[in-house]
Structure 1
Amino acid sequence: MSPTLTDPEAWAQANFAGADLGDKRRETRLIRLATQIAVDSSASLPKATGNWDDLRAAYRLLDSSAVNFRAIAEPHWRSIRETSPEMALILDDTTEIDFGCTRQIQGVGPVGTGTGQGFLLHSGLMVSHKDEVVYGLAGQILFHRKPVPKGESRTQRRKRDRESEVWGKLIELIGSPLQNTRWVHVMDRGSDDFEVYCRAQRQGVDWVGRVKSLHRRVQGADGLERPLQEELESVPQAGCFTLKLRSRPGLPARTAKLTVTFVRATMLVPRQPADSLKGLDPQPIAQYVVCVREVDPPASVKEPIEWVLYTSLEVACLEDALRIISYYEKRWLIEEWHKALKSGCSAADHQLKASHRLEALTGLLSVVAVRLLQLKGIARSEPERPAIEAAPPKYVAVLRAFRRTTEALPWGTYQFFRELAKLGGFLGRKGDGEPGWQTIWRGWMKLQAMVQGAELDLRLE
């Protein structure tokens, strides 16, 4: 299931056709709006639509009670689930869409420290377990944060809806994989809740989830109960490896030396389960725990790497443990998708004044952000694939003409996307590394305009 670039209209048709919006005309309008936004994902609605008639039609579409976040995005989710490969990872995570504190917007809730306003988006991004290929979104849940009542007791907290429940709800929304297909949900510390793993088990999906607390009591192979920390300390180190870390704000790229430990342990049913868990008839869950710790970190590193991961997948040797770790390492891809949604699609910058409008638009932009992220993955995963199989031939021809290449050999995807990135501002010097999705996307938008100009020129002849 290799992602392929198509022209904006074909892409919009493939991702939004079949949306249940209560009227076929709304579906047609959605596809037109998606086509317009795909041309320039960061543009405002007035700029993207281009004229008053189309802008007014877009506003009417977003105003309809039948047009909401899920109705818009679901055709894409369904397509991704139905065409998933034999094995895929689903990267689950939450991000905030914060519209700031000064705008007057109806229906939004608190975000951040409580000073912002907006909503939260919990998404499952399906990616390859082997490389950086992004397939698409398998499902999402948009929700509003509820203020925590003052003086709430622990018993009262267990009875009301908890924000952490969204991890299990997304797993159930995405559902069970098709026959002969395996899905692995890869989750961060927010998912460390017995109920989440219980719901995953009921759906027949696997998981790799980061541990939040090492104080949780587990049952070891000897049948005795002890804190997870003690269980990990009771087994020998399985091996070590090195990991190249990308640069982050304030931190340069570096190579870390890591040790690996793994053990089989049974997670026990909480002594005081929440009401939502009681209805699931919970039983102890046997799984593996993989621990990764950095040794001899540089003095400048304040927080050395320490990942403790629960997994339903078997870990019988160091190779198995390293595979589990590699799955967790891919979580940066959903962070990149969040960046594409917020920066590449300007999700929080649209000036609509009602939450339901903004939510519906976010459903559309979520799918556009996938397209942005896929640009980078195609070139890396299939560098020798003919460029005309990954992008429309006319786009390849126009870019070759613009770059004034005289070579007779056809371009591969790697060369095409590198030249595309140069069109978007990438310099391509020896020390520049590989282009990111942002420069590739800027180049793609310029190339789209060039292709449209070439087509117009031909019609005028």
Structure 2
Amino acid sequence: MIDKHEQWAEQQFGQVNLGDPRRTSRLVKLASTLAANPGKPIVNISQSPADMEGAYRFIRNENIEASTIAEAGFKATATGAQQHNLLLALEDTTNIVYSHRSIREELGHINQGNRHRGLLAHSIVLFAPESSEVVGLIEQQRWTRDINTRGKRRTKTPVPYSEKESYKWERASRNMVKRLGDNLDKVISVCDREADIYDYLQYKLNNQQRFVVRSMMSRHIEEGEHKLFHYASELTSAGQKRIHIAQKAGRKARTATLDITFSAVTLKVPSNKKGGSLPVYYVGCEERGNSDSNLNWHLITNEPIHTKEDALNIVSHYEHRWLVEEYHKVWKTDGTDIESSRLQSLSNVERLVTINAFIATRILQLKFAHSHATNVSCEQVLTPKTWKLLWLKQIKTPLPDSPPNMHWAYAELAKLGGWKDTKRTGRASVKVLWQGWFKLQTILEGYELAKSLESNL
């Protein structure tokens, strides 16, 4: 359930040690204010000149490490993870672009082909599939690339794996071990094709860490004479799965029928690597017979796959990977809008970005509520008192005997925030949804104040 912003901020950051209790108090207050007004500059949300000065003083304080703030948030997520039996660690990398000149010299290049500068970030969002709940952010790394390497060809000098950018996947898993401890046994890392790295897969297998990785390349395997993808194409279908493909840009919404295949396979050691073969399970999910579509997922996992139901579980886990992409979108633009920050130094940006990294998961929790909306009670997100006030405000009829579902809550919160659904998509923007949430909290505060006054008269 999404708490009030004051309670949420205290839960996330109230126990952090910043060397002075006043700094902790300022962090909690700043996080609470930002959470109540996501995406707005500090100057526009501070209640007084003193609050604004205190917030900027905190952001500019070089004695406060962004990593210390982050560890407090990760600890809160680890605590929340304890109540779940299964968790998906959804991983992805993104870039954060800043165009203003005051900070430009401290940033690196984003890729070889353009002249933008910024940061790169690798994030892990924990998701509980059994309760359809976004638990929180458990890991995030940020770094800059050397601007002097932009446009230059890579040298042929061997670089140790631990010094490569691709080591981020293993580093992220090692950090999760520190934070989750024994709870890591119930975590499945879910990664896109960029994680299809022999060293990373070897690390996960050697340490008995669960994973689902989309295969990027048709690797050599010990089964048969062909590579993985050719071998997979000859597997007998274990059944079919229908999925809805949403409308996006010029693509029309449609329903696709996918064939499901699975098999145990053994990946051979690449010629440029040292180590042993990797015993894994393969799960294929492919739309066959449609020449206009290249929809197919080649998934590698160490989860035992013996039946169609086992294979479908793996496909379902991978289907949730889009949530980390949504998280980055909420964090960067649609929610907390960190790319619009105009702070004057990278260290200042780091502190503000870190606080907003956790606020973004809070916003994502509300947005995700629309998925599985028809079979989940709105009390997963709203307290009984809150949804009843929303009903009386929007519906204006006697209260129902049981709580409405999340589809109703999503739509009414969006309408309260000004949503009209003029495009007939059924999807509200994060900003509109969060504006409705904020208005509902104001209604709740007014109701509680009125009850308090009534009891004191």
Bin for the TM-score computed over the shorter chain: 0.7 to 0.9
Kindly state the Cα deviation for residue 270 of structure 1 after the two structures are TM-superposed. Answer: 3.6
**2:335–2:430 CA contact under 8 A, matched in 1:** no
Equivalent positions of 1:61-100 (< 5 A) are 61-84=58-81, 85-100=84-99
**1:101–1:117 CA contact under 8 A, matched in 2:** no
Task: Name whichever of 48-57 and 322-331 sits farther off.
Answer: 48-57
**1:13–1:31 CA contact under 8 A, matched in 2:** yes
In the aligned structure 2, how far is the partner of 1:37 from the partner of 1:407? 35
Partner of residue 217, structure 1: 220
**1:86–1:181 CA contact under 8 A, matched in 2:** no
In the aligned structure 2, how far is the partner of 1:317 from the partner of 1:53? 63
Kindly state the Cα deviation for residue 232 of structure 1 after the two structures are TM-superposed. Answer: 2.2
Kindly state the Cα deviation for residue 356 of structure 1 after the two structures are TM-superposed. Answer: 1.1
Pairwise CA RMSD: 3.1
**Structure 1 counterpart SS, 2:338:** coil
Partner of residue 42, structure 2: 45
Kindly state the Cα deviation for residue 235 of structure 1 after the two structures are TM-superposed. Answer: 3.2
In the aligned structure 1, how far is the partner of 2:423 from the partner of 2:43? 41
Kindly state the Cα deviation for residue 284 of structure 1 after the two structures are TM-superposed. Answer: 2.8
**2:103–2:346 CA contact under 8 A, matched in 1:** no
**Structure 2 counterpart SS, 1:77:** helix
**2:102–2:345 CA contact under 8 A, matched in 1:** no
Structure 1 position 293 matched with structure 2 position 286: yes
Distance 1:455 1:251, change over 3 A: same
Structure 1 position 308 matched with structure 2 position 305: no
**Structure 1 counterpart SS, 2:340:** coil
Distance 1:319 1:120, change over 3 A: same
Distance 1:228 1:68, change over 3 A: same
One-letter amino acid matched to 1:25: R
Deviation readout 1:23-75 (Å, 9 max, x if unpaired): 22211111000110011101111112233222222222222334333221222
Partner of residue 442, structure 1: 435
**Structure 2 counterpart SS, 1:178:** helix
In the aligned structure 2, how far is the partner of 1:88 from the partner of 1:208? 12
Kindly state the Cα deviation for residue 375 of structure 1 after the two structures are TM-superposed. Answer: 1.1
Distance 1:154 1:219, change over 3 A: farther
Distance 1:407 1:434, change over 3 A: farther
Deviation readout 1:330-372 (Å, 9 max, x if unpaired): 1111111111112211111111011111111111111111111
**Structure 2 counterpart SS, 1:258:** strand
**Structure 1 counterpart SS, 2:241:** strand
**1:106–1:355 CA contact under 8 A, matched in 2:** no
**Structure 2 counterpart SS, 1:140:** strand
**1:89–1:184 CA contact under 8 A, matched in 2:** yes
Equivalent positions of 1:48-59 (< 5 A) are 48-59=45-56
**1:378–1:413 CA contact under 8 A, matched in 2:** no
Partner of residue 108, structure 1: 107
Distance 1:294 1:159, change over 3 A: closer
Structure 2: runs of 5+ lacking an equivalent: none
**1:238–1:260 CA contact under 8 A, matched in 2:** yes
Equivalent positions of 1:170-185 (< 5 A) are 170-175=172-177, 178=182, 181-185=185-189
Partner of residue 191, structure 2: 187
In the aligned structure 1, how far is the partner of 2:25 from the partner of 2:6? 11
Distance 1:30 1:202, change over 3 A: farther
Structure 1 position 33 matched with structure 2 position 30: yes
One-letter amino acid matched to 1:433: G
One-letter amino acid matched to 2:426: G
**Structure 2 counterpart SS, 1:219:** coil
Kindly state the Cα deviation for residue 381 of structure 1 after the two structures are TM-superposed. Answer: 5.1
Partner of residue 372, structure 1: 363
Partner of residue 404, structure 2: 412
**2:185–2:209 CA contact under 8 A, matched in 1:** no
In the aligned structure 1, how far is the partner of 2:225 from the partner of 2:380? 57
Equivalent positions of 1:208-357 (< 5 A) are 208-214=212-218, 216-220=219-223, 226-273=226-273, 282-297=275-290, 299=292, 304-342=294-332, 343-357=334-348
Q: How many residues align?
A: 444
Kindly state the Cα deviation for residue 271 of structure 1 after the two structures are TM-superposed. Answer: 3.5
In the aligned structure 2, how far is the partner of 1:217 from the partner of 1:404? 60
**Structure 1 counterpart SS, 2:339:** coil
Structure 1 position 152 matched with structure 2 position 149: no
In the aligned structure 2, how far is the partner of 1:156 from the partner of 1:389? 51
**Structure 1 counterpart SS, 2:94:** strand
Distance 1:257 1:388, change over 3 A: closer
Q: Percent sequence identity over matched residues?
A: 27
Kindly state the Cα deviation for residue 285 of structure 1 after the two structures are TM-superposed. Answer: 2.1
In the aligned structure 2, how far is the partner of 1:452 from the partner of 1:385? 26
**Structure 1 counterpart SS, 2:12:** helix
**Structure 1 counterpart SS, 2:317:** helix
Kindly state the Cα deviation for residue 374 of structure 1 after the two structures are TM-superposed. Answer: 0.8
TM-score between both structures, scaled by the size of structure 1: 0.86
Equivalent positions of 1:2-41 (< 5 A) are 4-41=1-38
Partner of residue 142, structure 2: 142
**Structure 1 counterpart SS, 2:78:** helix
Task: Name whichever of 39-48 and 376-385 sits farther off.
Answer: 376-385
Kindly state the Cα deviation for residue 163 of structure 1 after the two structures are TM-superposed. Answer: 1.7
Deviation readout 1:309-344 (Å, 9 max, x if unpaired): 111111112222121111111111111111111221
One-letter amino acid matched to 1:412: P
In the aligned structure 2, how far is the partner of 1:254 from the partner of 1:178? 42
